[in-house]
Structure 1
């Protein structure tokens, strides 16, 4: 039987849990996971595969080793991810002309379009929200989100990757 959490171990006792902004950040995290789950269902892939496809759509073709590092999986694990995505028709492996040993994983244009169609209503809604921000409000939001991103990067293993200054996908 599980013992109850002490107040020092219970995340609900933290200040952020009772702070409106903290609660909103938590809701964004929950809704982001839900959106990713729905995208995975629409594309017929699991969450790890969705994450891999997101990196490929956002940053373009990547070497399998780079993709493995970003997802914090082994090279054997990334091979399975790429195999699944390839079988589902979402990616192709392309050998480099100048070095036949080097392979890049490339997202398939139809899959990129399908993913975009699925998330377009959310992106359009967010674009409208961003468009309504005036200069000063926008600066405050940018500074705040930059600090939140830095907290995540500094506390999550393997998250010190490339800066995602514009998340268009």
Structure 2
């Protein structure tokens, strides 16, 4: 009976790890595409362009920020952000507020009044995610949260490098 050498086992293990990493990257691409398609459908329902919805989400997640902070986080030119903010403000999604200390400074704040519309449109995906989470124990969920957080940070770094 033949047994593999330590070198052959290490090569097999490295090959298996590369295959698994490649599959994870492929699946993340597929998830990205599905979320983009979902966002397009949601945006169409509330009359928001995909990039407008993305910027609204950045503000909703990170809280009030200046237009230049939003431009930096989104990797967009400030003039592009101005048009997006004009549309979001006109349709009641955000408010531009002057800083009390420096009246020239503006902060963008997501308005909670319309958040329920988005919550309802994303409820199918959120319900499905809750069903998936039920299949994992707390330690596995912590590992997934860590991985996704680190993947999001890598995405921000890559976006910043290209911006």
Shorter-chain TM-score tier: 0.7 to 0.9
Q: Which has the higher helix share?
A: 2
| RMSD over equivalenced CA pairs, Å | 2.5
Cα distance 1:64–1:30, how it changes in 2: closer, same or farther (>3 A)? same
TM-score (norm 1): 0.72
Larger gyration radius, structure 1 or structure 2: 2
Matched, 1:24 2:30: no
For structure 1, the 5+ residue unaligned runs are 1-14, 160-169
Q: CA deviation at 1:143?
A: 4.8
Distance 2:127 2:45 in 1: 19
Aligned residue in 2 for 1:157: 159
Cα distance 1:62–1:153, how it changes in 2: closer, same or farther (>3 A)? closer
Aligned residue in 2 for 1:82: 85
Aligned residue in 2 for 1:103: 106
Distance 2:129 2:123 in 1: 10
Cα distance 1:74–1:144, how it changes in 2: closer, same or farther (>3 A)? closer
For structure 2, the 5+ residue unaligned runs are 1-17
